[in-house]
Chains A and B, each alone.
Chain A
Amino acid sequence: MLSKEEKELIAQIWEKMIPIASEIGSESLHRMMTTFPGTKTYFSHLDIRPRSRQMLSHGKKIVLAIAECSKDISSMMVTLAPLQTLHAYKLKIDPYNLKYLSHCLIVTLAAHMGSDFDPVAHAAMDKFLSAFAAVLAEKYR
């Protein structure tokens, strides 16, 4: 359950991340693949060295998709429909991994925002990313 204030807070945070989407995204991916090595199995077709061109581009895509959703959280099901199909029928990433990426996105935000990523922001972000992951995995079965 996200309050109106929480939704605004989440939108504000992601708005600030848009200009540095490739940094935030690629750092989160690198943190995830380093801390949870099983996640690397989904990237055997890409150059996963930190800040490689492909990681910067892939990270940017992910952050921009999240930022887009954050602008209108109540419409998440509609906004994410194409990505739901992609993940369910083509990528088939075990949805458990979405938790790992969400965690690393949060660690990346905390590292970059410092004390601005206070417990209230953390709580809102954790709720939002959990909901995002759940919606993303909805068409799996």
Chain B
Amino acid sequence: MVDWTDAERSAIVGLWGKISADEIGPQALARCLIVFPWTQRYFSSFGNLSTPAAIAGNPNVAKHGRTVMNGLERAVRNLDDIKNTYAPLSVMHSEKLHVDPDNFRVLAECITVCVAAKLGPAVFNADAQEAFQKFLSVVVSALGRQYH
């Protein structure tokens, strides 16, 4: 069980309400593939990933970005049981997709940067960042939990 303060809960829910998963998701995944190019290893079926422009314009990247980011909704709605909420997804990423769990941390970093760029320093201040990063690190941990 994770200890959330009231301030953290309201920060997380508040931030989630201020962003669009459909907008941030594609940006975050594209950023991940550009800034950390080794993450492209999982997306060889996605088509042209040869340049930042190609990645940013790739419709498969955009679609998958939306899928992943909208998946965070469940965590926001289940802050007290993220571990169990994501257990099946964790199994899938381990046994079917064979994704190195460090990639969850890397993508979380990119999501954070995209949210910061979108919301600016007054809204995405230090306390908001702390709550949001704590939330993402719980998600990252839950997704890596069923790896054996």
Instruction: Give me the interface of A with B, judged by CB distance under 8 Å.
Output: 27, 30-31, 33-35, 50, 103-104, 106-108, 110-115, 117, 119-120, 122-123, 126
Contacts and interface: CB of A to CB of B under 8 A. Distances in A.
Most chain B CB within a 10 A radius of its CB, from A30, A35, A119, A123: A119
Interface size class of B (residues with CB under 8 A): 20 to 34
Nearest 6 interchain pairs by C-beta: A119-B34, A111-B121, A34-B126, A110-B116, A110-B117, A111-B116
Given A34-B126, A111-B116, A119-B35, A103 B109 contact: yes
Contacts of A113: 117
B113 A117 contact: yes
Nearest to B121: A111
Contacts of B35: 119, 122-123, 126
Interface stretch (B84-92, B127-135, B139-147): B127-135
Contact of A106 (B113, B118, B124, B126): B113
A110 B112 CA distance: 9
B112 A107 contact: yes
Chain A facing B: main interface SS: helix
Given A31-B126, A126-B35, 19 more contacts: A27-B126, A34-B127, A35-B133, A104-B129, A107-B113, A107-B116, A108-B121, A111-B116, A113-B117, A114-B117, A114-B118, A115-B117, A119-B52, A120-B34, A120-B52, A122-B31, A122-B113, A123-B34, A123-B52
B117 to A, nearest CB: 4
Nearest to B37: A123
A60 to B, nearest CB: 17
B124 A111 contact: yes
Contacts of A50: 126
Given A30-B126, A35-B126, A111 B34 contact: no
